[in-house]
Every structure is written in C-alpha cells, then in structure tokens.
Amino acid sequence: GEDVEQSLFLSVREGDSSVINCTYTDSSSTYLYWYKQEPGAGLQLLTYIFSNMDMKQDQRLTVLLNKKDKHLSLRIADTQTGDSAIYFCARGSSASKIIFGSGTRLSIRP
Amino acid sequence: NAGVTQTPKFRVLKTGQSMTLLCAQDMNHEYMYWYRQDPGMGLRLIHYSVGEGTTAKGEVPDGYNVSRLKKQNFLLGLESAAPSQTSVYFCASSLAGDYEQYFGPGTRLTVT
C-alpha cells in the first residue's frame, strides 16, 4: 500500500503519550482505520473515523484527521507496556478492499 | 462465534511441494481476503473474493490460487512452493469492501 505511508518505528517512555502519524494520497475513502497487531497475532481493529469527522476520542485513544493535508494520527495517552505492538493505518477503498500502510512498531522504554 | 479461523497454524514445506491453507468465517461476511506479511513490508494482498464463487487478484497473486466454493470458506493454494513464499499468511473477512476487516490468527509458512 504505497499510497498509505507511516514511519516504521516509534519509541516512547512509559507514561508518555505516543503519536503515530500516517499520510495517504487518495481522499475518496469513507472510513480510515487504525489496527493493532500484537506479537504472533492477527490484526485487530483499534478504532476508526469517518472521513467527515476531524477527531474521535475513545478512552486513551485520540484520532485526528486533517483532510486537507491527507494526514491521520493516532495518539495514545499514558502509554503502557501493553501498548507495545505494530500499528497499521488503513483507508477504505472503493475497489472492494482496504489499503494498509506498512505499520509502525511502537516500543515502550521504562 | 469463532470469528475467522485459519488452518494450519504452522507449516514447513520443501521447494516444489504443494499445500492449501484454509480460512473459515462464521460471520456471514461476503468479502474475504488473503494477505502475506513480511518484515518491513506490511500487508500485501494476494487474492480476494467479493462473494461465493468469485475471486480476484490482489497486489501479489503470482504463485498462488484461490477458491471460494462456499461463502464461509476461502482457500489459498500453493501449487509449487518456493522459498520466496516463506511468510506469515493472514486471512480476513468483512461485510463490505471498505468496512472493517476481521483477521484470522495467521499461518506461518516456511519453504526450505
């Protein structure tokens, strides 16, 4: 999915906020997603946002969408060791599929 | 409600051998997908299906075939395995094309 880009790695200190960023090129998607993949497991939907929204908050998670810049971000407040995982940004496609980014590996420092 | 299941979980093949990976979902989803995941490359779509009896090529279809004879099952076949097909394979299903996808636990395949 080269039209959905995200950095490969992020390291944060436990208790700090993590911000994972994503950019995309096609603005026609209805939904944009964040998936989480823990070691040895499949992907699980973490949260999603409708393309007509700017922000969505769900407990420790905040998703921000800047449609003009085609930029999506995921903020995890008070990052814990259990948040260590790979986070995938994705957008819905009119062509019967979801386009995934390459994933950002989040590691937590004590 | 088991969601999406995959069998087997692990497999080691020799070059040239064949095998079939089975994906099953009990959510009555129309759409099903096969991905491979390699380090640093994210998920790459191999084949997908938009309903029973249909299949379509994804990003990396070469060396793989699929069948969707029943709505709940999506099979991925490797006719002649190659070391380049060593990967983790994920199946997913969804209600519609751009809706949330539900993933299976993955199959780790090694081709020697």
pLDDT at site A2: 56
What count of other Cβ atoms lies within 10 Å of the Cβ of residue B10?
9
| Chain A partners within 8 Å of B100 (Cβ) | 31, 33, 45, 48
Contact A95 B97 (CB under 8 A): yes
pLDDT at site A13: 97
Rounded to a whole number, what is the distance in Å from the CA of B70 to chain A's nearest CA? Answer: 19
| Chain B partners within 8 Å of A102 (Cβ) | 40-42
The answer to whether A44 and A37 have CB atoms below 8 angstroms apart is yes
Residue-wise pLDDT tens digits, B71-95: 999 999 999 999 999 999 999 999 9
Contact B43 A93 (CB under 8 A): no
Contact B42 A103 (CB under 8 A): yes
Residue-wise pLDDT tens digits, B36-77: 999 877 899 999 999 999 999 999 999 999 999 999 999 999
Contact B40 A98 (CB under 8 A): no
- CB neighbour list of residue B86: distance below 8 Å, 6 or more residues apart: B109, B110, B111
Residue-wise pLDDT tens digits, B8-23: 999 999 999 999 999 9
The runs of H, that is alpha helices, within chain A are none
Give dist(CA A17, CA A75) in Å, integer.
7
Q: By three-state DSSP, how is residue B2 classified? A: coil
Contact A33 B41 (CB under 8 A): no
Q: What percent of chain A has pLDDT over 70?
A: 98
Q: Cα dihedral sign for A37, A42, A44, A48?
A: positive
* β pairing state of B43-49 and B102-103: unpaired
Instruction: Band the pLDDT of A93: cuts 50, 70, 90.
Output: confident
**Which of A4, A31, A87, A97 would best serve as a mutation to test chain B binding (most B beta carbons within 10 A)?**
A97
Burial class (CB in 10 A: 0-12, 13-18, 19+), A23: middle
